[in-house]
Chains A and B, each alone.
Chain A
C-alpha cells in the first residue's frame, strides 16, 4: 500500500470542539442513565421470569375462536367507530386546515386556529373518550366523538402543511382570470393537495381503527371492552383470537388503502 499524498493538508479539528463533543456525549449518556432509573428498567427480569413468559406465550399459541361471531361483530363496530370518527374529522379538517395555512389565511386567523388544533391534538383519545362518556353516555358514539376530536387536530395540521407546500404559480394563474378567493382555493390549491390529503386520511383511518380498539376499554364501544375483559381474566386464548382478528383487519385495510392511494396519485 502506498500512502496517498495529497497536496492539501487535512484540516485539524480544533481542540475546543473536540472537548465540546466529549461533553455533549457525556451529557447524553447521563440523561439516558437518569431515564433508565426512572423507567425502572430491569432487563434481567425477562430471564428470571422466563417460565411465566412461556406460559403467556403458550396461552397465545392456542387461540380460542369459539366466540368468534361476537368478536367479528365487535370488530365491525370498531371499524364503524373509526369510519365516522375519521369522516367527521376530515369534514372539519378541510376548512380548518386551510384556515391554519400561512399562504391562505392572515396571521390573526391562522394563529388562533392553529392553537385550537394543537389543543385537540395534545389530548389523547382515551381522555376524550372518558369525557364524552360523561356527556353522551356509554357506547360507540362517545368513541366516535373522541376519535373525531383528536383526528381533527392531527389532520388539520397535516392538511395545512400540504397547503403550505403547494406551487403558488397555478394559483396566480387562476387569480389572473378574475376568480375570487374561494375559487382560487377550489381550482388552484385543492387539486394540488388532494393526493396528500387522501394519503393522510387513509393513514389516520388505519390508526383510528387501532385507537378505536382501545377506547372500548373505557366503555366507548368496540372490541376494546371484550379485549379488556379477556386480559383481566387471564383468558389469553380469547385475547389471542381477538388480536389475530384485529391484525388481519389492519392488514386488509392497509392493502385496500394502498389500492385507493394508487388511483389518486
Chain B
C-alpha cells in the first residue's frame, strides 16, 4: 500500500456516500485508479454506477458527513462541498454520456470545439473567435474518430453511434487526461457499440488516457478492460482483474433475477438486456 500511496492516483474516491431521500445510492464507496488504467464499472441498473461517475466529475455532491474525491491529487469535492476550482478540474476530465449530450443544432465541428471552452476566454468564446490552429485540432479529433467528412453537419442529424464518437472527439479536444464514460454504448447497435468502445480503448492504449467506463454488457468489460469494478446497491462488491469475474461472481452481482441469462460464457453475455415478460408471453 505504501508504494501505491506515493504515486498520485488518477481517480481517488474515498468513502463517498450519497443519499437520495431515504435511498442510499452510494454507500461509503472507495476506489483508486492509477494513471493509464482502463477500468470497467459494471452492476445492475440502480446500483450507483452513474451516481459514482457524476461524483467523480463533480456534477453531483456527496453527502455532507464524509468522503472526498480527488483527480490527479486535485480535490473535486470533500464532505459534500464541490471545490471552487471545479471548472479547471472538469477540463481535465472528459465525460461521455449515455445520451451523447451534444448540442443537436450545432455543427459537429462546433460541438467538438466546445471541448476547449475552459481554455478559451469567455469573450472570445462568446464571439466564436476560434483560431485556425484550434479548428485544425478539432478536425484532427474528428478525423481520429472517423467523422471528419461530417464536420459541417448538425450533430442532431447523425446516428447515435456517430454522435457518441463525436462526444469522444469533444473529450479529446478538451485534452482530457481522464475519460469517464457513463454507459456510452447502452443505446447503440452492436456494431456502433464496438466502434465506440474501440475508440476509448485506442485513446487508453495510444495516448495513455485513464478510462473509467460503466457498461451493461459484461463481455465488453472482459474483452477491453483488464480491471473491473462491480457495484450493487451502492456498494463496491468486486474490484479486481476482469478474468476473475466467474459466472458465480456475476450471478452474485446481478442477483437471481438474471438466472435466465446464460452466464457460462458460451453465449454472448447480454446481462443488461432482459427479455420483457410480456413479449415472452406473446411468443409462447
Residues of A at the B interface (CB closer than 8 Å) are: 169-170, 172-180, 182-183, 186-188, 191-192, 194-195
Contact, CB under 8 Å: B106 / A173: no
Find residues 80-100 in chain B having any chain A CB closer than 8 Å to their own CB.
Answer: 87-95, 97, 99-100
Since A174-B117, A178-B174 are in contact, a sample of 14 more A-B pairs with Cβ atoms closer than 8 Å, ordered by chain A residue number, is A170-B102, A170-B103, A172-B59, A172-B97, A173-B170, A176-B94, A177-B115, A177-B170, A178-B87, A178-B117, A178-B118, A179-B87, A180-B118, A183-B117
Contact, CB under 8 Å: B122 / A182: yes
B51 within 8 A of A: no
Q: Which chain A residues lie closer than 8 Å to B170 at the CB level?
A: 173, 177
A173-B167, A177-B174, A179-B118 given; A188·B103 CB < 8 A:
yes
Question: What is the CA–CA distance of A104 and B114 in the complex, to the nearest angstrom?
Answer: 19
Closest Cβ of chain B to A203, distance in Å, is: 20
Contact, CB under 8 Å: B126 / A182: yes
Closest Cβ of chain A to B260, distance in Å, is: 33
A170-B103, A177-B174, A194-B105 given; A187·B117 CB < 8 A:
yes
Find residues 54-87 in chain B having any chain A CB closer than 8 Å to their own CB.
Answer: 57, 59, 87
Contact, CB under 8 Å: A169 / B87: no
Question: What is the CA–CA distance of A173 and B100 in the complex, to the nearest angstrom?
Answer: 8
Closest Cβ of chain A to B171, distance in Å, is: 8
B45 within 8 A of A: no
A173-B167, A176-B93, A178-B87 given; A183·B122 CB < 8 A:
yes
Contact, CB under 8 Å: A186 / B125: yes
Q: Which chain B residues lie closer than 8 Å to A170 at the CB level?
A: 101-104
Question: What is the CA–CA distance of A183 and B124 in the complex, to the nearest angstrom?
Answer: 10
Contact, CB under 8 Å: B87 / A191: no
- How many contacting A-B pairs (Cβ < 8 A)? 85
Which residue of chain A has the shortest Cβ distance to B113 in the bound complex?
A187
Question: What is the CA–CA distance of A182 and B100 in the complex, to the nearest angstrom?
Answer: 21
Closest Cβ of chain A to B269, distance in Å, is: 29
Q: Which chain B residues lie closer than 8 Å to A188 at the CB level?
A: 103
Contact, CB under 8 Å: A183 / B125: yes
Q: Which chain B residues lie closer than 8 Å to A177 at the CB level?
A: 90-91, 94-95, 114-118, 170, 174
Question: What is the CA–CA distance of A180 and B120 in the complex, to the nearest angstrom?
Answer: 11
A-B contact pairs, 5 of them (CB 8 A): A173-B97, A174-B103, A178-B118, A183-B114, A191-B106
Question: What is the CA–CA distance of A172 and B122 in the complex, to the nearest angstrom?
Answer: 18
Which residue of chain B has the shortest Cβ distance to A182 in the bound complex?
B122
Which residue of chain A has the shortest Cβ distance to B174 in the bound complex?
A177
Which of A178, A182, A187, A191 is B90 in contact with, Cβ under 8 Å? A178
Contact, CB under 8 Å: A179 / B114: yes
Q: Which chain B residues lie closer than 8 Å to A178 at the CB level?
A: 87-92, 117-118, 174
Question: What is the CA–CA distance of A175 and B102 in the complex, to the nearest angstrom?
Answer: 11
Which of A179, A180, A182, A191 is B105 in contact with, Cβ under 8 Å? A191
For the complex of A and B, list the 4 residue pairs with the smallest distance between their C-beta atoms, beginning with the closest: A173-B101, A178-B91, A178-B118, A176-B95
Q: Which chain B residues lie closer than 8 Å to A174 at the CB level?
A: 103, 114, 117
Q: Which chain A residues lie closer than 8 Å to B97 at the CB level?
A: 169, 172-173, 176
Closest Cβ of chain A to B92, distance in Å, is: 8
Which residue of chain B has the shortest Cβ distance to A186 in the bound complex?
B126
Closest Cβ of chain B to A223, distance in Å, is: 39
Contact, CB under 8 Å: B91 / A187: no
Q: Which chain B residues lie closer than 8 Å to A179 at the CB level?
A: 87, 114, 117-118, 125
Which residue of chain B has the shortest Cβ distance to A179 in the bound complex?
B117
Which of B105, B114, B116, B122 is A192 in contact with, Cβ under 8 Å? B105
Question: What is the CA–CA distance of A187 and B128 in the complex, to the nearest angstrom?
Answer: 10
Q: Which chain A residues lie closer than 8 Å to B114 at the CB level?
A: 173-174, 177, 179, 183, 187
Q: Which chain A residues lie closer than 8 Å to B116 at the CB level?
A: 177
Q: Which chain A residues lie closer than 8 Å to B103 at the CB level?
A: 170, 173-174, 187-188, 191-192
Chain B 146-176: CB-based contact to A (< 8 A → 1; otherwise 0):
0000000000000000000001001000100
